[in-house]
């Protein structure tokens, strides 16, 4: 298998996608571009699952049904990266590598198309929309029932928190449960010179934020990661410094691995808010269950790890679970799956995902290209319990 025969196409696809990013649920031109490439593959059958997603089927009805997934959406970020192929769509950017995932899968499917006789199973390329926005495109696709008869699904992420030269394939949890909360704390505003006549929601809100830090330090099992981050605090207005506001708006995210910890955080958030009621405050709480933790199936993970060991000797690692959210969990909740992280951290390429200066090392695409192909080639080896 020679990547060099496909490299030019992969880079071309990736740079086009990078210059033409579209945010979640609005990937209309992106999926049109992808389908245009797939239509050139003589052994490919294209089906649309939603308006902005597609699947590419090879060897329909033959052997096991194996899914290869790439996410296609971008983020609402203004790009600041110093690249020649900068985003042409104002306020949108591929700042998480989805352009690379998509281009690599397209390249791998070209290889499968060209060497179809080497594949004994039905191979389905999954071009999934809206990974970045809860409830996520994966859930929308999975809820159609389309994937219920798949043998297994594989996906990977180019990851700038893992060194280039390492491929991280974890057992069990690959990512965290990722939830959101939005809170309104309601007091009684008034003149700043007479705080005794008011009920200051800023004081109550800062007390609440400090108190919820003890969820992690005093309630959660230290051997099971829990992250509670309050990231939004909106109160008052510039120009109204002599006014104590009546309301404060808070927002944040909760990351857990275990379902019992997920429930614990929900309960303790509400208990801390109830304490404010005893002081005369009121509140509203909207808690949004986001993406579930991606759970890697043991047998599929054994298989994927064996591929890394064979084709990339010395590069296999198993790091701690990513505490970010990943909607690949919708697939792993329904179908035996494995989700890997291909290291992309290198000098000059170490900005974090979702940063406006995020850049992706294009050398990493060869690894993703080979992983997609080898997972598809020998999928009959996976014996599920």
**352-374 pLDDT, tens digit each:** 999 999 999 999 999 999 999 99
Whether the CB-CB separation of 31 and 47 falls below 8 Å is answered with: no
Whether the CB-CB separation of 372 and 104 falls below 8 Å is answered with: yes
Domains of the chain, by residue range, sit at: 4-175+293-381, 177-291
Number of helices (H), then strands (E), in the chain: 9, 16
For the chain, how far is it from start to end, CA to CA, in angstroms?
Answer: 31
Q: What is the distance of C-alpha 89 from the center of its chain?
A: 22
74-95: burial string, b at 16+ Cβ within 10 Å, e else? bbebebebeeeeebeeeebbbb
Q: Which residue has the tokens 């579209």?
A: 22
| Residue-level pLDDT at 251 | 99
| Residue-level pLDDT at 38 | 99
| Residue-level pLDDT at 250 | 99
Residues of the chain predicted below pLDDT 70: 1
Cis peptide before 192 (omega within 30 of 0): no
Whether the CB-CB separation of 351 and 314 falls below 8 Å is answered with: no
Q: Residues within the annotated binding site?
A: 96, 98, 132, 157, 354
| Residue-level pLDDT at 1 | 65
CA nearest to 249, candidates 263, 234, 229, 228 = 234
d(CA 60, CA 376): 14
Q: Residues within the annotated binding site for Mn(2+)?
A: 96, 98, 132, 157, 354
* Global confidence as pTM: 0.95
Q: At 364, phi and psi to the nearest 5?
A: -70, -20
Q: What is the CATH number of domain 4-175+293-381?
A: 3.40.630.10
Class of domain 177-291: alpha beta
d(CA 150, CA 195): 63
d(CA 254, CA 238): 30
């Amino acid at each position: 298998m020679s990547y060099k025969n496909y490299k030019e196409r992969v880079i071309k696809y990736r740079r086009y996608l990078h210059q033409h990013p579209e945010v979640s649920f609005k990937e209309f031109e992106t999926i049109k571009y992808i389908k245009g490439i797939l239509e050139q593959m003589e052994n490919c059958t294209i089906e649309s699952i939603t308006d902005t997603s597609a699947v590419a089927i090879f060897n329909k009805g033959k052997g096991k049904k194996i899914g290869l997934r790439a996410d296609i959406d971008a983020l609402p970020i203004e790009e600041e990266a110093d690249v020649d192929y900068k985003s042409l769509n104002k306020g949108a950017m591929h700042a998480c590598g989805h352009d690379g995932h998509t281009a690599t899968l397209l390249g791998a499917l070209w290889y499968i198309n060209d060497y179809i006789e080497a594949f004994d199973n039905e191979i389905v390329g999954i071009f999934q929309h809206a990974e970045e926005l809860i409830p996520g495109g994966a859930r929308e696709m999975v809820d159609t029932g389309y994937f219920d008869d798949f043998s297994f699904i594989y996906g990977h992420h180019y990851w700038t928190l893992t060194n280039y030269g390492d491929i991280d394939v974890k057992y069990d949890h690959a990512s965290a449960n990722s939830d959101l909360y939005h809170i309104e704390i309601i007091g009684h505003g008034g003149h700043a010179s007479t705080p005794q006549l008011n009920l200051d929601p800023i004081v109550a809100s800062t007390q609440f934020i400090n108190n919820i830090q003890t969820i992690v330090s005093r309630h959660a099992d230290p051997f099971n990661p829990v992250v509670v981050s309050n990231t939004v605090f909106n109160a008052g207005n510039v120009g109204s410094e002599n006014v104590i506001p009546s309301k404060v708006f808070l927002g944040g995210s909760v990351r857990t691995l275990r379902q019992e910890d997920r429930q614990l955080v929900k309960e303790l958030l509400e208990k801390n808010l109830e304490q404010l009621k005893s002081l005369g405050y009121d509140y509203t709480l909207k808690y949004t269950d986001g993406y579930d933790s991606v759970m890697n199936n043991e047998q599929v993970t054994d298989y994927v790890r064996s591929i890394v060991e064979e084709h990339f000797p010395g590069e296999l690692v198993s790091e701690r679970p990513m505490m970010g959210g990943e909607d690949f969990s919708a697939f792993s909740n329904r179908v035996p799956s494995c989700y890997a992280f291909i290291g992309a951290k290198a000098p000059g390429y170490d900005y974090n995902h979702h940063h406006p200066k995020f850049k992706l090392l294009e050398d990493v695409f060869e690894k993703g290209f080979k992983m997609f192909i080898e997972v598809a080639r020998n999928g009959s080896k996976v014996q599920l319990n």
